[in-house]
Structure 1
Amino acid sequence: MNNLLEQWKGWLPDLLDGYRISLEVTAVTLAVGIPLGLVLALMVSAKSRPIRTFALIFVETGRGAPALILLQFFYFGLPAAGLTLTSFASACVALACCTGAYTSEMIRAGFEAVPYGQKEAALVIGLNGVDALRFVIIPQGMRVALPSLLGFSIMMLQATSLCFTIALPELVSRASNIGSSTFEYMPVLILAGLLFAVICVPSTFAVSALERRLGRHAVR
């Protein structure tokens, strides 16, 4: 046990550097992907058929293509078209597209969960369609979608482990390199898993608590 702790102590600084990159990718992905999901949700519900079609194609492509394929496409595929992205940029763009596609459906479901009476009331008090959307539907719909969005955010942190396939030195990549040089794969991967768990496990309980809390105050 003491030997294991000494190993972990020696590996921890390198793994924490990789963990920082994982968190940075997650932060950029969510900062871009969730607003993109909101825009796509509005586009899917738009009256214009071309806008709806474009949004649906984007959403279904993003949901249908595995995140690993998107990562490979942006890092290895785009250079063939004359556009080269760094591994960090490729990871952020690919995962943001994936996030936008999935969260658009979560947000759209939140909008549809807003009681119709709320929409009627907004029109009765003189709000036009845009203002009703801004001040009534979006705030309430996002409140309904919030637990799902937070749960998906935890999944995206875990999904950064796929970025080792495009040479991004994130947590799993650092752990794999340490395992390759020391042949101590199990101890270093356990430590990497514990680092993920430090954020993911408490966050999962927090999301469940938030979902229960919001459920008690849901508008009906």
Structure 2
Amino acid sequence: MNDDTLLGGWLEWLPSLLDGLWLSVRLAGASLVIGIPLGLALALLMSARHRWVRVVAIIVVEVGRGTPALVMLQIVYFGLPSAGLTVGSFVAAVVALALTTGAYTSEILRAGLQAVPHGEVEAASALAMSNRDTLRFIVIPQGVRIAIPALLGFAILILQATALTFTIALPELLSRAYSIGSNTFRYLDVLLLAGLLYLLITLPAGWLTNWTERRMARHL
């Protein structure tokens, strides 16, 4: 099929771009699944009693937040093989985006943990609950719940950040769009379709984030 019309081109390119979109979604999902628990761990470490633990956690977070995701991708993709670890593009992208996710979500989750009413902690202490149980059953569940809207918003940003992985030869949505554009010289048409496919995910996700924020504001 070789149709020079906009619709004809879109129909021809759509299967390849959908495969790329699915890869982008999988990449974002894997990065969030790994990165959010990492962010929670860093948030807890930044509130640790030992000063040196707090300092190390803060340094890790500041380095992660201060390093652009594109630079992190290059460091992981080219750095791990130099250290003797051979990884594919997908694994390298997951590691890099998970590290970025952990650094940014640590601040989101720390704010959520600090927003837990102090009276809840005092009540747990009055019931003779240990600090670990208070953290496990009261502070973390409520803190994470408070942070959910912000985490959903950040998940949208991570999906958009997967477009950066075209620089390490991962065949996600943007990479496939560029490949089609280089073969057909119809960059505007194919990038327009790629943008619409991103919107199919990000617009409903944005609506879900706003709805969740409004709903939770009623109960917090």
Asked if these proteins are the same fold (TM beyond 0.5), I'd say: yes
Counterpart of 1:119 in structure 2 is: 121
Match of 1:63 in 2: 65
Whole-angstrom distance in 1 between the partners of 2:179 and 2:128? 62
Residues 15 and 171, structure 1, Cα contact 8 Å, conserved in 2: yes
Q: Counterparts of 1:88-103 in structure 2 under 5 Å? A: 88-103=90-105
1:205 corresponds in structure 2 to 207
Give the residue type in structure 1 aligned to 2:14: L
One of 188, 191, 197 as aligned partner of 1:189? 191
Amino acid at match of 1:104: S
| AA partner of residue 27 (structure 1) | G
Give the alignment partner of residue 165 of structure 1, picking from 154, 157, 167: 167
Q: How far does residue 78 in structure 1 lie from its aligned partner after superposition?
A: 2.6
Q: Report the number of matched residues.
A: 218
Q: TM-score, normalised by structure 1?
A: 0.96
SS in 1 for 2:170: coil
**1:16 touches 1:171 (CA, 8 Å); kept in 2?**
yes
TM-superposed CA distance for 1:77, in Å, is 2.5
Q: By how many angstroms is 1:48 displaced?
A: 1.6
Q: CA deviation at 1:196?
A: 0.6
Q: Could you tell me the TM-score, scaled by structure 2's length?
A: 0.96
**1:19 aligns to what?**
21
- For residue 37 of structure 1, the aligned residue among 24, 39, 42 is 39
**1:97-156 deviation line (CA, Å, top 9, x unaligned):** 000000011000001111111110111122111111111111111111000001000110
Give the Cα–Cα distance (whole angstroms) in 2 for the partners of residues 18 and 132 of structure 1: 44
Give the corresponding residue for 2:5: 3
Which ranges in structure 1 are unaligned for 5 or more consecutive residues?
A: none
Cross-structure match for 1:148: 150
- The range that moved more, 126-135 or 87-96, is 126-135
Query: Are residue 28 (structure 1) and residue 37 (structure 2) matched?
Result: no
Hey, which bits of structure 1, 4+ residues long, moved more than 3 A? Answer: none
> How big is each residue's C-alpha offset from its partner over 1:166-193, in whole Å with a ceiling of 9 and x where there is no partner?
0000000000000000000011001101
Percent identical? 56
91-100 vs 54-63, greater mean Cα deviation: 54-63
- Kindly state the Cα deviation for residue 83 of structure 1 after the two structures are TM-superposed: 2.3
Measure how far apart 1:50 and its partner are: 2.5
